[in-house]
Chains A and B, each alone.
Chain A
Amino acid sequence: MDDSYCDGNALAGPLAEVFAVDMTAATGRCASCGQAGPVAALRVYDRAPGLVARCPSCLEVVLRVVRAPGGMWLDLTGAASLLIALPAG
């Protein structure tokens, strides 16, 4: 079985550098196939430069994160939407 990926739980640290709330519990919708699910359940490939997160259903790229000196490049082309739960008030 293909063991070359981990999952969106591994995005928690990198995304917490820029987002004030945990993004791994957010529900993302794949722009390619429409499947919705937690960011934590995306397939994450970390051998590319940066992190590439793919839809577990259709395997298209949903988001990419590249940390460079002085900045972070976040490509959300493959995410149709992100639903982020927020505390009340």
Chain B
Amino acid sequence: MAPRALAWRTAILAAHRDETPTAATLVLRVPGWSGHLAGQHVDVRLTAEDGYSTQRSYSLAAPADGELIELTVQQVAGGEVSPYLTEVLAPGDPVEIRGPVGGWFTWQPADTGAVQLVAGGSGIVPLMAMIRARQLAGSTAPFRLIYSVRSPGQLYYSAELGSLAARHDGLDISFAYTRAVPDGWPVPPHRLDAATISPAVWPAELAPACFACGPTAFVETVADILVSLGHHPGRVKTERFGPTGG
């Protein structure tokens, strides 16, 4: 059999952390893992006893810690893969993965320029990997994050984001809520629009590297707004979830 550029391998669940009532971070031990870039993802494959198999892509949520990698998985009701990963897979259980893959929607700590991140829902995951990679490397690249969620309870990593922002070391975070807002929030819930993005985003003159990730319609809207604000389309990188098969 010819050698494959990329093969499936077995990872073991090392730990499970709930992020929200419907999302969990899986810490996987992958023997021989040789690191990855922030923004890359892995494919996860499940195979039933009868041989039926199905696979999904999940963004890596953090830099590797030796052989440990982290994925954050949003549970999709009725999905074939995500309910198994978030509710059934237990520490010590094996799961097949391949990766890291993807070389376009990535950020490297050697990049010192301004970075604009825009996340819709679970689109935060690869952007959190960039934020954590920045932190781990001691990078001073100026980062801004706009994080849009349905309601405060849907925020991933909220305590960590809060403490990172409180350091005032070049990471600014703006939250936006589309269905329900926290008590005392100054504006009612609404879809992320130009009026919300415009004051929170780096000015186009700064030529930030922009990364937008989330559901397809969200990403299309955000990318259009960024371009309308003068950001060069070549500097607006996007990752769309599309129809979530879960």
Contacts and interface: CB of A to CB of B under 8 A. Distances in A.
Interface of A: 1-10, 12-13, 16-20, 22, 24-25, 38-41, 44, 46-47
B5 A20 contact: yes
Contacts of B239: 7, 9, 40
Contacts of A7: 216, 238-240, 242
Contact of A9 (B41, B55, B215): B41
The 6 closest A-B pairs by CB, nearest first: A6-B242, A22-B103, A12-B101, A40-B104, A16-B6, A13-B43
Nearest to A67: B55
B175 interface: no
Contacts of B98: 13, 16
Contacts of B220: 1
Interface of B: 4-6, 41-43, 55, 57, 98-99, 101-105, 215-217, 220-221, 237-243, 245
Contacts, number: 89
6 contacts: A2-B216, A7-B238, A7-B239, A13-B43, A22-B102, A38-B104
Contacts of B6: 13, 16-17
Contact of B104 (A3, A4, A9, A17): A9
Contacts of B241: 6
Contacts of B242: 3-7, 10, 44, 46
A22 B99 contact: no
B99 A13 contact: yes
B57 to A, nearest CB: 6
A36 B19 CA distance: 39
A71 B99 CA distance: 19
Contacts of B4: 17-18
A12 B4 CA distance: 14
Nearest to A38: B104
A8 B41 CA distance: 13
A9 B5 contact: no
A89 to B, nearest CB: 18
Contacts of B57: 9-10, 12-13
A10 to B, nearest CB: 6
Contacts of A19: 5
Given A13-B6, A22-B103, A47-B243, A6 B216 contact: yes
Given A1-B217, A3-B215, A4-B243, A24 B5 contact: no
